[in-house]
Amino acid sequence: MIARTIVSADLACDAAECGHQIQRPICHRFVALIASAVVAHGMLAPSMAHAAEDPARAEAAAGAASAAGASGFTSKAEAAGAKLLPLWEVGFGVAALRLPDYRGSDQARNYALPLPYVVYRGDFFKADREGARAVLLDVQRLEVDLSVALAVPARSNSARQGMPELAPRFEVGPSANVDLWRTADRNAKLELRAPLRAAFTLQRSPRDVGLSFTPHVSLDVKGLAGGWDLGVQSGAIFGDRRFHSYLYGVEPQFATAQRPAFEAHGGYAGWMALAGVSRRFGNIWVGAFVRQDSLQGARIAASPLVKSERNVTAGIGVSWIFSSSRQLVAAEQ
């Protein structure tokens, strides 16, 4: 067992968890891909040419890896036969997204957003295919990390006319991730992820607006069709009473003939399914995802603010990796 410190900053666009929330793999990695697509779903590791260019660096890194093994502690990466990769890589690009105003809205907007590319392969803090995170516990099949998410505001929505606008939100909390299956070469794996986050509004007087829980299974496959990475996720979405009230409740003073008062309750909020691909072409990273959300059978489906029980979110992004560390470390690609 290896105890570590991890901070999982999934600034990815998880439209399912909080309106158009920017969550972790492929999108929870685009922003669900942008800040979860960036550091999140599919950043292929660079060439090992760095080691060949500087034998001293390769020898030093190999020595460090050997020393780590001699210490008696074996991490998942080391147990898998890790490769020598740059300690960090950084890049920058742009992403185009189509997002609903919130889950259940019949209005969607197009966004052009900056797409940073960050990979860090440290012992405690990591930013890689699994997202940006701080590892709290790492055992052979279980990892607990600190998950962070961001939701952008929803403004000028016709269903909410005359009501307070939805402020941007920050979410943070633990996530338990369990390895269910993986191939011997570790190019494919199936995980159960269970993030539980507390949500807070980002405004002059921040508010605690409740809890969200989004357990899901995630299948990641590397190296398809000449080098593409594929990620598929599906799972249920839950929220407590305060979280649902913030998004879907209608207080009596905001009720109209077309929008009756609605008291939201906690519980099941529907499901989501997501698929994304990404690939590294030299110093260029490209990625895309599509996601569907359903509110059928959800406890908040009867809210007058729910105008559509199905939403589709999609995005595409490209980043240029312009710098990488000369220091090499033993890590999984």
Residue 290: helix, strand or coil by DSSP? strand
Mean pLDDT over each residue of the chain, to the nearest integer: 78
Place of tokens 């190019």: 187
In 10 A of CB 112, how many CB atoms?
Answer: 9
Torsion sign over Cα 34, 35, 38, 41:
negative
Nearest in space to 173 (alpha carbons), one of 150, 148, 191, 152: 148
Question: Mean pLDDT across the stretch 14-28?
Answer: 41
First to last CA, the chain: 22
Q: Which residue has the higher pLDDT, 42 or 216?
A: 216
Nearest in space to 267 (alpha carbons), one of 234, 244, 293, 235: 244
pLDDT tens digits for 225-278? Answer: 989 999 999 999 999 999 999 999 999 999 999 999 999 999 999 999 999 999
How far is the C-alpha of 300 from the C-alpha of 239, rounded, in Å? 10
Whether residue 149 has pLDDT greater than 70? yes
Task: Give me the pLDDT at residue 148, please.
Answer: 84
Task: Give me the pLDDT at residue 150, please.
Answer: 80
Length of the chain: 333
Task: Give me the pLDDT at residue 247, please.
Answer: 97
In this prediction, residue 206 has a pLDDT band, given cuts at 50, 70 and 90, of very high
E strand or H helix at 72: none
In this prediction, residue 141 has a pLDDT band, given cuts at 50, 70 and 90, of confident
Q: What is the pTM of this model?
A: 0.74
pLDDT tens digits for 78-130? Answer: 444 467 889 899 999 999 999 999 999 999 999 999 999 988 887 655 555 55
How far is the C-alpha of 313 from the C-alpha of 315, rounded, in Å? 7
- Lowest mean per-residue pLDDT among 92-96, 184-188, 208-212: 184-188
Percent of the residues in the chain that have a pLDDT greater than 70, as a whole number:
70
Spell out where the chain has E strands.
6-9, 83-86, 88-100, 108-121, 125-128, 131-138, 142-151, 169-182, 188-201, 208-213, 216-224, 228-239, 267-281, 284-294, 310-324, 328-331
